[in-house]
Amino acid sequence: MGTQWNSYPLEIIYQTFGWIAFFSWSISFYPQLILNFRRKSVVGLNFDFVVLNLTKHSTYLIYNATLYFSSVVQRQYRDKYGIGEMIPVAANDVAFSIHAVILTAFTLFQICIYERGNQKFSKISFLLVFAAWGAAAVCVLIALPSHSWLWLITVFNTIQVTMTVIKYIPQAFMNFYRKSTEGFSIANILLDFLGGVTNYAQMATQSIDQGSWVNFYGNIGKTLLSLVSIFFDLLFMLQHYVLYRSKPICHPLKLDEANKEPLLKTSDPATSDLP
């Protein structure tokens, strides 16, 4: 890829931060998969979370893989941000995206084969997914004549950032509604927080070595991904350790309530352990 580092120690630090983020985010997928397998049931898992998460990770994979492997897109990136600028996607970004798509798709498969009670996907989630992929398809047609591939993958990156913001909202709202975080795994949040911080630190390390902060606005999706993750993780930690610490559930959610507004109210968290 023509990447040139000015400092070998900074390159090592960059790679270390990247793989810490990869393993932190990747491990956070497994508790829900294991829980579903042990119970042979997905009752309590918010289906909208899974389908929105699959769209998020699929679009992020398209962005990462294209920018990392395509010499044409890399050339367009350097033409826009500077010929000496380093490509802001590392091998661990591509590896994480592939891993995330596979595990999220497998979670969707579990929904199809395991007991799910009267839970179902909401029309809102399908509408959001349809809108996201419909917009992407339109942008592909727009980019074809001029070969604006960098602009096109930026669209996919924007979609994944949008989905990242949306997917966190149900759990935060549910904690607020119940005035409790009982049944919600804080371990997932701590791992997600570690991934977000190290991902951001990785970008900062690259910028320090290159003496340029174009890395942040040149890959705005990755920057926003880290900031959004950190913001919501801090909110969850505040809810768990400060606001609702050891408080009883004031408003237990029923399964039929969760089905009515699944994007706003999740099902009983005692059976849920979302990554």
Residue by residue, pLDDT tens for the chain (275 residues) are 445 777 788 888 888 888 888 888 889 888 778 878 888 887 666 788 889 999 999 999 999 999 999 889 888 888 887 766 667 788 878 988 999 999 999 989 998 998 887 777 888 889 999 999 999 999 999 999 989 999 999 899 889 888 988 887 777 776 787 677 654 667 778 888 998 888 888 878 877 877 777 666 666 666 776 787 789 889 989 988 998 876 554 444 444 444 444 444 444 444 444 44
Note whether residue 3 is domain-resident: no
* Measured distance CA(71)–CA(68) in Å, rounded: 8
Note whether residue 106 is domain-resident: yes
Note whether residue 82 is domain-resident: yes
* Measured distance CA(223)–CA(122) in Å, rounded: 30
Burial of residue 22 (CB within 10 Å: 0-12, 13-18, 19+) is: buried
Note whether residue 150 is domain-resident: yes
> What pTM was computed for the model?
0.71
Domain that holds residue 253: 8-271
Note whether residue 2 is domain-resident: no
Q: Tell me how many domains the chain contains.
A: 1
* Measured distance CA(69)–CA(46) in Å, rounded: 35
CB 92 within 8 A of CB 18: yes
Note whether residue 122 is domain-resident: yes
Place of tokens 């706003």: 264
Note whether residue 145 is domain-resident: yes
Note whether residue 1 is domain-resident: no
CB atoms closer than 10 angstroms to residue 167:
22
Burial of residue 60 (CB within 10 Å: 0-12, 13-18, 19+) is: buried
